Structure 1
């Protein structure tokens, strides 16, 4: 038995929230919600004195009210690049401006569409023209100049459609060495600065709590959850997780479609 509360970290998409396979990834991010069963599990987790952190690839501006209504202790957003604790932003890491500019130039030259994601703003870079409509509130830009004019350029990562994963990962040096690339397994991929990942965010959160890695848990399903699963004492993969995630986890729970978070919390006696 431990004399400190448990701290549990939860991915969102494919973990707390089930993604409809008939909808694209962006539409699921915009519209999918947590179930009543997940909400009850969080209430019971907190009633026992345990702590919870949402630990997601989503930026803060895409954390919907349903997720906030889970009353987490804190938010680790943008795949570890930003931490919110007790209602305040503790830290934020963003892509260096020179690197961002060079990345936009490369994407423009390749004609690859991506969504740049920041705490306060998301902007779709559309080199081939058009308007981005998948996520309400996201801006549409068509050049570096438009991105500069429309935003504060404070982006922590960028994401892209699943059919662009191979092309994005063919990014040449020296740009490529500055990023870590992930297949999210949900019809999308993402890239963020090397060294800034969910494990980095968890370390910052535990530092705020003055809590060791003992009695810590993490739930995830995708490649960007692998650093998070390595950063805690007990790792739980969702039943719908990618094979590489299941292979690393200490325990595989039910699918997100069947409230696997609740099943996993109950298995470890946390609710």
Structure 2
């Protein structure tokens, strides 16, 4: 394994461009990495069911999903960190009083506390998904949930952050915030996966662009921020590549000597 590495890629804004398309150069680079014997994995805030087609297209069976809360290695679940359900129930009840919908998410599906809401539609439509949540305000009962979504305007999440200290809140859209177990992150998920795969720290690489990538980029020894990332994200990384629209994955891999 001396010359082999594991490379974790974020999806939105990293593998996929603003139109949620996979650039040809990125796809070719992924398969070239595998041809050279490297391990290719995904590290995303998305649910597993939100990128199944991408995994099939790129032939990837190792992934860190839900920002590190649900980790699969070689097709097998190796780590799960569910949300604290009693606290989540209280949060959802308060959110309903404030006309802030919540979407509950497990590894297979997602359900909303309200039948319909513009914030849900607009936020999830930005991901170019075919799958939208149906209405089930009690979906939290009797199952493990690894992430939830709170839908509110920027700044309104502060009241929840102050009251619900079991959770971390990470905004990913003007109308939507991820709800995660406190302290959960892609960095922890990557650590779990890389240990099982047998790659030491110096053989681990990560590419990302979002606010939820900051801990990953500041923790993984060989980290790369996309050129389209915000400055605060770039400052967390060891390296900066071009934007996803400018063949940033290919450029970054060449820069690192992986291709």
Q: Same fold (TM over 0.5)?
A: yes
Match 2:155 to one of 132, 144, 166: 166
Q: How does 1:86-165 map to 2 (within 5 A)?
A: 86-126=74-114, 134=125, 135-141=129-135, 146-148=136-138, 153-160=143-150, 164-165=153-154
How many angstroms does 1:91 deviate by?
2.3
Please give the root-mean-square deviation of Cα atoms over the aligned residues, in Å: 2.5
SS in 1 for 2:220: coil
> CA, structure 1 residues 4+73, in 2 after alignment: closer, same or farther (shift >3 Å)?
farther
Confirm whether residue 17 of structure 1 aligns to residue 16 of structure 2: yes
Gap runs ≥5 in structure 2: none
Is 1:115–1:158's contact at 8 Å kept on the other side of the alignment? yes
**Structure 1 CA distance for aligned equivalents of residues 236 and 120 of structure 2:** 36
Change (3 A) 1:130 1:93: same
What is the CA distance between 1:230 and its match in structure 2?
2.2
Matched, 1:184 2:172: yes
- On the 8 A contact 1:8/1:217 being kept in 2, the answer is yes
Q: What do residues 139-182 of structure 1 show as CA deviations (whole Å, max 9, x unaligned)? A: 332xxxx3326975432122355x6231123216441x112122
Write out aligned runs for 1:251-266 (5 A): 251-266=239-254
Give the direction of change, closer, same or farther, for the CA distance of 1:36–1:3 in structure 2 (3 Å limit). Answer: same
Structure 2 CA distance, aligned partners of 1:85 and 1:252? 27
- Residue by residue over 1:173-217, the C-alpha shift from the partner in whole angstroms, topping out at 9 and shown as x without a partner, is 441x11212233687432211121101101110121122111211
TM score, norm. by length of structure 1: 0.84
Q: Which residue of 1 aligns with 2:49?
A: 61
1:215 matched to 2:209? The reply is no
Task: Tell me the secondary structure at the aligned position of residue 153 of structure 2.
Answer: helix
Consecutive unaligned residues in structure 1, runs of 5 or more: 21-31
SS in 2 for 1:147: coil
Native 8 Å contact 1:158 1:192 kept in 2 = yes
TM-score by length of 2: 0.87
1:86 deviates by: 1.2
